[in-house]
Chains A and B, each alone.
Chain A
């Protein structure tokens, strides 16, 4: 009773003291709720509600932001299991436990992000039902069989992820480890299907295939297998790996900058290297997938292709070139810093090759960033004889862009090979011949890529697209597939002259990792806008017209504000998730420090984090 009285007293005291605040808060909340009236205002008595709106921010912007955040989170959640699982396999096969620790750390980030991704997915679904009921009715009518499949996949994915994460320590030995590896496979299997099923819904909106006959499953299947479904599947799969790699790299970069012990510095330096490597590995393949996607779009509908590449979205691709350029430069910069800092004494040996690589990268980037139609004042345009520069205008079309993107991939690959070989001396008798062969392959491949690029101006577009561009890609893949095993063979018998020292990278290396992550997030936000805007005023291209007040494409300038907001908010969200995920480690670390202070020590708790080595 006494306690109850006390509670009442405290409540009445509190109410008296904070009464004014409470009233103000209630009034403010009331004012904030007022716009909700607008939600109902859109409905009409004549027929079913087609759209609802929300004041100030607008329904389209809200959907845009939530969808973009959901996609970014989903990209991370679906990309990370791929390389977490691969790291676990490497540890399992090679016995190097640091890979297992790394895989576990990646998965820890995954578990904490998974719930947030699902949360944003749920919010997106509710918002779509609220704001776009007509569109959602239409899509549900076509896709309801795959909606059900998606729910099932989600259940399987969640169960597998929990088993994979919580069973990590319990399934470390013998057959249990094999089972754990199999769980990792299942996790990725379900994750890929979780990605490609909703991809069908999104790509259907861009390139719909509608059949009126057949069963519900037949209609859903026809709509699923639309012209841009597989190009998007492949493009997103690779992009998710890139996003996951760079975000893990940024996480490692931040932890590296904050590390207080030498052991932590070593670990996070190495983790940053692995994250960057994964990002670059995916980045090398991404332009090929993007090119294929764009080709399919162009072939599906000339109007959509021109809207993207030659019409009002064409300047978007110059921004894309800038972001990809920064990503390439940032990744190479990190490799080069690795050579000079992790391999003592190698700076003088590699400074000149690095300079040439840098100059080549910048030249390629200059070509990629040169627009076909230039932004010019009236006087400048008159002097040029139009918006196209008579000399530099030729750099603005696909033949030039495709050539330099292939060259940049080759340069970045060689950057990695240089890093791989640094600090080692070949001992194999055939080493000289192998190096000559590799040099010749690289030189001939580069020349061939350039010749095909120049020749591309003098042949019909279809010959360039179907034969020249694909040949350029094939040449680059051939270089990667021949030089990688040759280098691996050479290094098998090579003598290590300088041991790699981890944990000595300067702070700017950590910042470079963060920059790469921000660039890839911005890039995904930009391309999300491109994919959506290419439909112009259609919900479902050519089938269901957008009749809402938002049936227009926002200009690139105003769209960039939303993209930047999404990027900023996503970074905050990821930082928060990672902070929560690592809170336990810090507590355990502090506990470990206290334990070490005790002269006799205390028994370790089951499941506790391993002790960290002191500096």
Chain B
């Protein structure tokens, strides 16, 4: 096997090791799901193929050994390995088929829609409560009483009750959560809770209470103001 063939194998191995063992151990990181690892490995592989086939010489150096091996042209002692590969491919396909169809006790991977579209009556609603320091403070107070047990005193989704929920409560300090949404969206989610999620929000995995049963609308609007202020975020607006 030529160097041109060993190099891609090393690159693929190194990339896998990086994604599987290095990246998850960086402080603040976590294990990467298999779906994403496969995506990144496919990208790496396509990059290798593109680069190695840029010229006739590099293409021959890269593809030539594989072609010779597969066609059995002057491979000498590697002939048994070639037959081994011939057997291995159907075995791999069979194994993959078995894995895909065999009964398993683990639930399937899910693609939950975190932010389903709100019902029409909630779009475009403006917060009717004036943004005064008093109202924001009052909102933070309501937040501390009703929301912080799950969403955390620091608005980071790490309240004392958070460990009991899967999926965990939203982290408002993350700039990719409430900062991407308008206030009216939060109003809908707080008011209707997990049971008010639409069909596209299935499998409706949210333990968010339906706060409209306990809190008046004005309090909910104040809580929204308190959340944004406490998490140092601003709602999405068009002005």
Least CB distance from B14 to A in Å reads: 14
B96 close to chain A: CB less than 8 A? no
Interface hits, B107-164 → A, CB 8 Å: 107-120, 123-124
Interface status of A358 (Cβ within 8 A of chain B): yes
Task: Report chain B residues within 8 Å CB of A358.
Answer: 47, 50-51
Q: Does A347 reach chain B (CB closer than 8 Å)?
A: yes
Contact between B110 and A375, CB atoms less than 8 A apart: yes
Taking a contact as CB atoms under 8 Å apart, the answer to whether B238 and A340 are in contact is no
With A370-B36, A391-B28: A461-B180 Cβ-Cβ less than 8 Å:
yes
Q: How far is the CB of A186 from chain B (nearest CB, A)?
A: 40
Q: In the complex, are the beta carbons of B47 and A362 less than 8 A apart?
A: yes
Q: Could you tell me if B50 and A329 are in contact, using CB atoms closer than 8 angstroms?
A: yes
B55 touches A347 (CB 8 A): yes
Chain B residues lying within 8 Å of A374, measured Cβ to Cβ, are 33, 35-36
A387 contacts across to B, CB distance below 8 A = 112, 114, 167
Is B95 among interface residues, defined by CB-CB distance under 8 A? no
Contact partners of B114 in chain A: CB under 8 A: 310, 372-373, 387-388
B237→A461 contact, CB < 8 A = yes
Residues of A within 8 A of B51 (CB): 354-355, 358
- A380, B33: Cβ atoms under 8 Å? yes
Q: Binding site of B, secondary structure by majority: helix, strand, loop or mixed?
A: loop
Q: Provided the pairs A362-B43, A391-B28 are in contact, do residues A315 and B111 lie with their beta carbons within 8 angstroms?
A: yes
CB within 8 Å for A347 and B54 given contacts A397-B180, A461-B237: yes
Residues of A within 8 A of B44 (CB): 362
- Per-residue contact bits, chain A 449-473, to B (CB 8 Å; 1 contact, 0 not): 0000000011011100000000000
How far, in angstroms, from A393 to B176 measured CA to CA in the complex? 8
18 A-B residue pairings within 8 Å (CB atoms)? A301-B123, A302-B185, A306-B117, A310-B113, A312-B113, A312-B117, A314-B115, A340-B54, A355-B51, A358-B47, A374-B33, A375-B33, A375-B35, A376-B109, A389-B32, A393-B176, A460-B234, A460-B235
| Residues on the A chain within 8 Å of B43, using CB | 362, 365-366, 369
Q: How far is the CB of B222 from chain A (nearest CB, A)?
A: 20
What 13 new A-B contacts, CB under 8 Å, besides A310-B180, A340-B55?
A302-B124, A307-B117, A310-B115, A312-B113, A341-B56, A354-B51, A378-B106, A388-B176, A389-B33, A391-B23, A391-B29, A392-B32, A460-B234
Interface string of B179-209 (1 = CB under 8 A from A): 1101011000000000000001000000000
> Is A388 a contact partner of B174 (Cβ separation < 8 A)?
yes
Give 6 nearest A-B pairs by CB, closest first: A310-B115, A376-B33, A460-B234, A391-B29, A461-B236, A312-B200
> Are A373 and B47 neighbours in the complex by a CB distance under 8 Å?
no
Most buried by A among B39, B185, B237: B39
Cα A377 to Cα B111 in complex, Å, equals 9
In the complex, are the beta carbons of B55 and A380 less than 8 A apart?
A: no
Which residues of the other chain, B, contact A536 by a CB distance below 8 angstroms? 117
Residues of chain A within 8 A (CB-CB) of B234 are: 460-461
Closest B residue to A391 using CB positions:
B29
Does A294 make an interface contact (CB < 8 A)? no
Q: Mark A285-306, 1 if CB is under 8 A from B, else 0.
A: 0000000000000010111101
Contact between B185 and A314 (Cβ–Cβ < 8 Å)?
A: no
The answer to whether B31 touches A380, judged by C-beta atoms less than 8 angstroms apart, is: yes
- Assess the A390–B28 pair: CB atoms within 8 A: yes
Alpha-carbon distance A312/B115, docked complex (angstroms) = 8
Question: In the complex the two chains form, what is the Cα distance from A311 to B197 in whole Å?
Answer: 12
Q: Give the residue name and chain of the B residue nearest to A315 (CB).
A: B111
CB contact between A303 and one of B26, B46, B110, B123 (< 8 Å): that residue:
B123
By the criterion CB–CB under 8 Å, are A377 and B180 in contact?
Answer: no
Residues of A contacting B119 with CB < 8 Å?
Answer: 303
B2 is an interface residue with CB less than 8 A from chain A: no
Task: Indicate if the CB atoms of B106 and A377 lie closer than 8 Å.
Answer: yes
Knowing A378-B106, A460-B237, A461-B180, the reply to whether A508 touches B31 (Cβ < 8 A) is no
Binary interface profile of B, 198-239, with partner A (CB < 8 Å = 1, else 0)? 001000000000000000000000000000000000111111
A462 to B108, CA, bound (A): 38
CB distance from B60 to the nearest CB of A (A): 11
Q: Of B28, B54, B56, B124, which one neighbours A351 at CB under 8 angstroms? A: B54
Q: How far is the CB of A197 from chain B (nearest CB, A)?
A: 29
Chain B neighbourhood of A379, CB < 8 A: 106
Whether A457 touches B175, Cβ cut-off 8 Å, given contacts A303-B118, A377-B106, A387-B112, is yes
Q: How large is the interface on A (under 10, 10 to 19, 20 to 34, 35 or more residues)?
A: 35 or more
Distance (whole angstroms) from the CB of B120 to the closest CB of chain A: 6
Which B residues from 16 to 53 make CB contacts under 8 A with A?
Answer: 23, 26, 28-36, 39-40, 43-44, 46-47, 50-51, 53
Query: Provided the pairs A366-B43, A377-B107 are in contact, do residues A383 and B31 lie with their beta carbons within 8 angstroms?
Result: yes
Residues of A within 8 A of B35 (CB): 374-376
Is A44 close to B, CB under 8 A? no
B65 at the interface (CB under 8 A from A): no
Q: In chain B, what residue has the closest Cβ to A362? A: B47
- Residue A381 lies at the interface, judged by CB distance under 8 Å to chain B: yes
Question: Does B8 lie at the interface of the complex (its beta carbon under 8 Å from any beta carbon of A)?
Answer: no
Q: Does B64 contact A (CB under 8 A)?
A: no
Interface centre among A315, A374, A390, A461 (most CB of B within 10 A): A461
Q: Any chain B CB within 8 A of the CB of A337?
A: yes
Measured CB to CB, the nearest residue on chain B to A350 is B54
Kindly list chain A residues whose C-beta atoms are within 8 Å of the C-beta of B108: 377
Does A394 count as interface, using CB distance less than 8 angstroms?
A: yes
Nearest-Cβ distance from residue B4 to partner chain A, whole angstroms: 13
* Contact (A385, B33) CB under 8 Å given A304-B117, A393-B176, A460-B234: no
A394/B53 in contact, CB under 8 A: no
Q: Considering the chains assembled together, what is the distance between the CA atoms of A428 and B71 in angstroms?
A: 54
A132 within 8 A of B: no
Inter-chain contacts of A340 with B (CB < 8 A)? 54-55
With both chains docked as a complex, state the minimum distance between the C-beta of A302 and any C-beta of chain B, in angstroms.
4
CA distance A385 to B116 in the complex (A): 20
CA distance A377 to B32 in the complex (A): 11
Other-chain residue from A370, A375, A382 in contact with B166 (beta carbon distance below 8 A): A382
* Separation of A333 and B112 alpha carbons in the complex (Å): 36
How close is B178's CB to chain A, nearest CB, in angstroms? Answer: 10
A390 touches B30 (CB 8 A): yes
In the complex, A312→B234 CA distance in Å?
25
Q: How far is the CA of A482 from the CA of B23 in the complex (A)?
A: 39
By beta carbon, the residue of chain B nearest A382 is B166
Contacting pair B185 A373 (CB below 8 A): no
What separation, in Å, do the CA atoms of A336 and B49 have in the docked complex?
Answer: 13
Is A28 an interface position by the 8 A CB rule?
A: no
- B23 neighbours in A (Cβ, 8 Å): 391
Question: Among residues 96 to 123 in chain A, which have CB atoms less than 8 Å away from a CB atom of chain B?
Answer: none
Q: Say if the beta carbon of A384 comes within 8 Å of chain B.
A: yes
Alpha-carbon separation in the docked complex, A392 to B32 (Å)? 9
Interface membership of A55, Cβ < 8 A: no
**Identity of the chain A residue whose Cβ is nearest the Cβ of B47 in the assembled complex:** A362
Whether A542 is near chain B, meaning CB under 8 Å from some CB there, is yes
Q: Which residues of chain A are within 8 angstroms of B116 by Cβ–Cβ distance?
A: 306, 310-312
- Closest Cβ of chain A to B24, distance in Å, is 8
Contact of A377 (CB < 8 Å), options: B109, B118, B182: B109
Q: Mark A342-371, 1 if CB is under 8 A from B, else 0.
A: 000001000100110011001001100110
**Residues on the B chain within 8 Å of A503, using CB:** none
B176 close to A397 (CB less than 8 A) = yes
- Across the two chains, which residue of chain B brings its CB closest to A383? B31
Q: Does A386 contact B (CB under 8 A)?
A: yes
- Docked-complex contact A311 and B113, CB < 8 angstroms: yes
Q: Judge if A279 is at the interface, Cβ distance under 8 Å.
A: no
Contact B54 A373 (CB under 8 A): no
Is A95 in contact with chain B by the CB < 8 A criterion? no
B39: A residues at CB distance < 8 A:
366, 369-370
